[in-house]
Amino acid sequence: NLEEFLNFKQLKTSLKEAILLDYYTAGFWWAKEMNFSLIQLSGFMDLLNFLLENLSDKHMTLGDNLKELGKAMAGIGETDSEGTGDLNFFSIEQAKAVIDYL
**Segment 10-63, tens digit of pLDDT:** 666 677 778 888 899 899 999 999 999 999 999 999 999 888 888 888 888 888
Whole-model pTM over 0.85: no
What local confidence, expressed as pLDDT, does residue 18 receive? 81
Number of domains into which the chain is organized? 1
| 8 Å CB contact between 24 and 37 | no
pLDDT at position 85 over 80: no
What local confidence, expressed as pLDDT, does residue 22 receive? 86
Choose among 52, 32, 98, 35: nearest CA to 88: 98
Domain of 91, in residue numbers: 2-78+85-101
**Segment 34-48, tens digit of pLDDT:** 999 999 999 999 999
- C-alpha 42/C-alpha 63 separation (Å) is 25
